[in-house]
Amino acid sequence: MTLFRPAALLIAPFFAFAVPLAAQAQTDLTIAATGQVSVPPDEATAALTVQAQDTTAAKVQAEVNTAMAKALALAKAVPGVKVTTGGYGSYTVNPDNNAPQQFAAQQTIQLSMMAPAGAPSAEFSNLLGTLQQNGLLLNSFSGDLSDAGQRQAQQAAITDALTQVQAQASSIATSLHEQVGTMKSLNVNAAANSGPRPMMVMAMAKNAAPAPQSAPDNVQVTANVTAEIALNHVP
């Protein structure tokens, strides 16, 4: 009979340790939320094209080079304007009426300037009018967020999404009679929606240089957040 006593002594502590372990079980909760903010643009942007067409490639390229040099000088003369150039290309043009083959060339120029109220300054609008008068084509005139404005808006959208996640987790935990525990994982993806806000552009009359009119809409910035949160059983 005494041979079984040591075994009984070992079994009792084992069950005493196993029961508290079962009480530590958790519920893993996965929540997704989309935060959103609507902010006015803080930067005005424009893209224009210099182009020329004539009977020789050398001539059209020279015309484009001269026009672009003048456009760059005008843009750099306006304080606060950031200017960059885009793609440069030349190609042949075959008229449909059996006219001699011609050549065409073009290059783009991008302009941007801070616009705290969401609308560009008169200097920026007047610059666009002058460039149009000089023969440049205005491809786009938009309101957008600067890099700093984009980061600030994204942070606000993330905060909005996290607030939603916390509220949902608290509500679900209450419904299950549990407590919100630690956050096990978090995935965040924030971005501006639909690109720049187009502005209203007034058509330029022949031999005139009116400043383009603008009324940019707000930029919508969203943040998609997915979180895994542990819910603990209430003691």
pLDDT tens track for 76-117: 999 999 999 999 999 998 877 777 889 999 999 999 999 987
The percentage of residues in the chain with a pLDDT greater than 90, rounded to a whole number, is 65
**Is residue 217 domain-resident?**
no
CB-CB neighbours of 136 under 10 Å: 22
Residue 89 or residue 21, greater confidence:
89
- With a cut of 80, say whether residue 3 has pLDDT above it: no
pLDDT in tens, 142-195: 888 999 999 999 999 999 999 999 999 999 999 999 999 999 999 998 776 544
Q: How far apart are CA 41 and CA 181, in angstroms?
A: 39
Residue 206 phi, psi (nearest 5): -65, 135
Query: What is the side-by-side order of every strand in the sheet holding 102-114?
Result: 82-93, 102-114, 43-54, 137-144, 197-198
Residue 190 lies in a domain: no
Q: What is the pLDDT of residue 25?
A: 67
Find the helix or strand (DSSP H, E) in which 223 lies.
strand 219-233
Residue 200 has pLDDT above 60, yes or no: no
**pLDDT surpassing 90 at residue 129:** yes
Angle between helix 122-133 and helix 57-76 axes, rounded to 10 deg: 160
Structural domain contains residue 5: no
The number of distinct structural domains making up the chain is 1
Say if 94 falls within a structural domain. yes
Cα-Cα-Cα-Cα dihedral sign, residues 87, 90, 93, 99: positive
pLDDT at position 209 is 53
- Tell me, yes or no, whether 112 lies in a domain: yes
Asked if residue 169 belongs to a domain, the reply is no
Which domain does 97 fall in, by range? Answer: 43-145
Euclidean distance between CA atoms 46 and 197, whole angstroms? 11
CA dist., res. 116 & res. 125, Å (int): 15
Count CB-CB contacts under 10 A for residue 4. Answer: 8
- Quick one: pLDDT at residue 210? 63
Residue 196 one-letter amino acid = P
Interatomic CA distance for residues 60 and 52, integer angstroms: 5
Structural domain includes residue 79: yes
The answer to whether residue 27 is domain-embedded is no
The CATH code of the domain that includes 97 is: 3.30.70.2970
Query: Could you tell me what percent of the chain has a pLDDT over 70?
Result: 79
